[in-house]
Chain A
Amino acid sequence: MKLLGQASGPSPGGGQNGRLAAFEQRYRQEQGVRLFWTGAYALLFLVALAISIIVSDFNLPGLITGLPKAWNYIAGTLPSLSFEALWADLADWYWGLRFWLRLLFETILMGFIGTVLGGIVALALSFPAARNLVENTAIYFAARRALEFFRTVPELVFALIFVFAFGLGPFAGVLAIAVHTAGSLGKLFAEVNENVDERPLDGVRAAGGNWPMVMRLAVVPQVLPNYASYLLLRFEINVRGAPALGIVGAGGIGQELYVAIRQFEYTDISAIMLLLIITTSIIDVICETIRHRLIGHDLTLGS
């Protein structure tokens, strides 16, 4: 308000010079205000940085001694491969290949079934969690909060609890993945649902369809390609995340990786990690191709 008042301050009598001076003054003032806020934010940032450095006891000596150690550790995991006996060395490095491939397969299966089960739950919850599809606010609210709970509690915490309840093994891991997937996919699905075209809904309602019929015949055909694309994306994420669950005893190759790290089986660590990186890259590429095709398919249908 003050600035506005000043802008209109130099009244007719001021002439060009007066207006220019007023303009420059106003410019300086605005610049000063901006500078002040930038400085204040910078100060806030620096204070937060300083506090977090102190709290997380981040220190330069620790870093200087720690980084070479970490590097030595990573370098130590690399196998000694010689050119003359390459095959023998490789065989030595991947001594447990068959066993690891089996566990890797299990990890992928965990990601797969976790995504499917979580996707089913997400699908069921996404309709009540879409603002435009339910009239009852209480149901909407409950569905939204449930999804939020599923996705905010870390997957690993669910895994810890499920390992307690269902015993060690991939089953607990699958449940943990499924619950987390239900939460995050449910939210995305609900957002897709909220963006549907209303006209088909009205059509089914006008023809006398009840709520499940409206969902099945008007909503699902519109949203299916987006769902599939999100499902594939989630599958990638779950395969990448499944090894971490092995650390708390929830099956898959993560368990083996954890044992290798704990027992300092250096070359095993790099062997398993390389397998994991290759697998996740392949799955990424495959899923990306399918996703592009799905969305392309959808666009051609739409036009």
Chain B
Amino acid sequence: MPATATAHVDIDRYKRSNPELFSRPLAQRLRDWLLWLAFAAAVLFTLWWIDANPMRIVNGLSKLGVLVRLMVPPWPGDGLWEYCYAMFETLAMAFLGTIIAAVLAVPFGFLGAKNIVPNWLFHFGLRRFYDAFRGIDGLVWALIFVSAVGLGPFAGVLAIAVGDVMVLGKLFAEAIENVDKKPVEGVQAAGGSSPHIVRLGVFPQVFPVMMSHVLYFFESNVRSATILGIVGAGGIGLQLSDRMRINNWHEAAFIILVILVTVAIIDNICRRIRARIIEAGRA
């Protein structure tokens, strides 16, 4: 095949004339190798640190197998209604917590928006402050509120609301910063007063974005609310950790199934609402 032969000759010629096209410089290759070596060393060190020897893995896996066998079939026992109510309570906690966080986050959003408060030092400081709150897990807030207001779903609601308000505030601030000037000027040019500007120029742009953030937070809060009960903040988590503690694995597996189904349903509903909001925002 003459065509390939010429191609090979060509390639050889190029290799001789421009070697840098065919291999990267030694320094770069060395750096890559060192990075991979460091990475491998870090992985091995960590495995050593957490004591991950094969014996332990095999033992644990066999125990895990026993647990899984104990879980099948998932069976609610006589606590079916109790679990359904607990799941409902979890949903209520997530809903109320998200709504409270969203309402409180609106003023925080306006405060943090660059085009509302144009002082960069204030802006920077406030943003870092919002970010810092993200570092504290919802479960830690739940622990604090359980200590403050006692056991029960009320503590869970407060934990969700306080944990989310700053993060939502930051997202709202970004939505407000991204407002397009042109509709605002349009309303102004048509002689609108400032309530008109907010209602007709700003609100239609900001509202769909805010709503879709709030829906995302509701979804994620439903997920996290299922575990708040483990520290005593009400809902299905309390039932789950109780069943695990008394080694009732059939019922524990059933509760996990309830959580999975509910989360799937909520995700589906939220996805539909979000699609409609975005569509309405475009129209």
Contact = CB atoms under 8 A, between A and B. Distances in A.
Interface of A: 48-49, 51-53, 55-59, 62, 65-66, 69-70, 72-74, 106, 109-110, 112-113, 116, 148-149, 152-154, 156-157, 160-162, 164-167, 169-171, 174, 240-241, 243-244, 247-248, 251, 257-258, 261, 273, 276-277, 279-281, 284
B50 A110 contact: yes
Interface in B226-240: 226-227, 230-231, 234, 237, 240
B227 A56 contact: no
Contact of A157 (B47, B139, B227): B227
B31 to A, nearest CB: 14
Given A69-B148, A164-B63, A165-B63, A56 B50 contact: no
B48 to A, nearest CB: 10
Contacts, number: 162
A156 B226 CA distance: 10
B224 interface: yes
B139 A160 contact: no
Nearest to B94: A52
Contact of A244 (B139, B156, B234): B139
A241 B137 contact: yes
A52 B140 contact: no
A62 B154 contact: yes
Chain B, interface SS category:
helix
Given A113-B46, A276-B136, 15 more contacts: A55-B88, A57-B152, A109-B50, A113-B47, A148-B264, A157-B227, A162-B60, A165-B60, A171-B50, A171-B52, A243-B137, A244-B140, A251-B50, A261-B144, A273-B136
Contact of A164 (B143, B244, B263): B244
B175 interface: no
Interface size class of B (residues with CB under 8 A): 35 or more
Contacts of A169: 50-51
B93 A113 contact: no
Contacts of B259: 152-154, 157
B99 interface: yes
B111 interface: no
20 contacts: A51-B92, A52-B93, A55-B88, A58-B154, A65-B149, A69-B149, A73-B148, A74-B144, A109-B46, A153-B256, A156-B227, A160-B230, A165-B67, A171-B50, A171-B56, A240-B135, A244-B139, A257-B140, A280-B135, A284-B131
Nearest to A112: B46
A53 B43 contact: no
B208 interface: no
Contacts of B152: 57
A248 B147 CA distance: 18
A58 B49 contact: no
Contacts of A164: 63, 67, 244
